[in-house]
């Protein structure tokens, strides 16, 4: 039986909630949103890489990989 995995959206949402819930607040009660945003972005990059690898393994031609941050 193939391994069942959670849909990508649910995995990403779960990572975002986990990071958000573990943030530490500073003395004034503000969270460091830069750290939160970085965790979310890194999670999304990992998710895209995982999905890309799955599609390539299934024989889908995605063309050359490009850096999304290059314009």
Report the b/e string of 14-40 with b at 16+ CB within 10 A: ebeeebeeeeeeeeeeeeeeeeeeebe
Of residues 15 and 25, more confidence is placed in 15
What is the percent of the chain where pLDDT is above 90? 6
**What's the rounded Cα separation, in Å, for the pair 35 and 33?**
5
Domain membership flag for residue 45: yes
Residue 67 included in any domain = no
Whether residue 30 is contained in a domain is answered as yes
Domain with 27 in it: 8-57
Give me the mean pLDDT over the 24-40 stretch: 70
Separation of alpha carbons 11 and 60, rounded Å: 23
* In a domain? residue 68: no
Give how many domains the chain has, as a whole number.
Answer: 1
d(CA 29, CA 27): 6
pLDDT for 5 beyond 50: yes
């Amino acid at each position: 039986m193939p391994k069942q995995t959670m849909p990508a959206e649910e995995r990403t949402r779960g990572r975002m909630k986990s990071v958000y819930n573990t943030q530490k607040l500073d003395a004034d009660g503000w969270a460091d949103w830069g750290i939160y945003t970085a965790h979310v972005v890194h999670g999304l990059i990992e998710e895209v890489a995982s999905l890309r690898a799955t599609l390539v393994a299934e024989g889908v031609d995605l063309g050359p990989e490009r850096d999304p941050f290059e314009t």
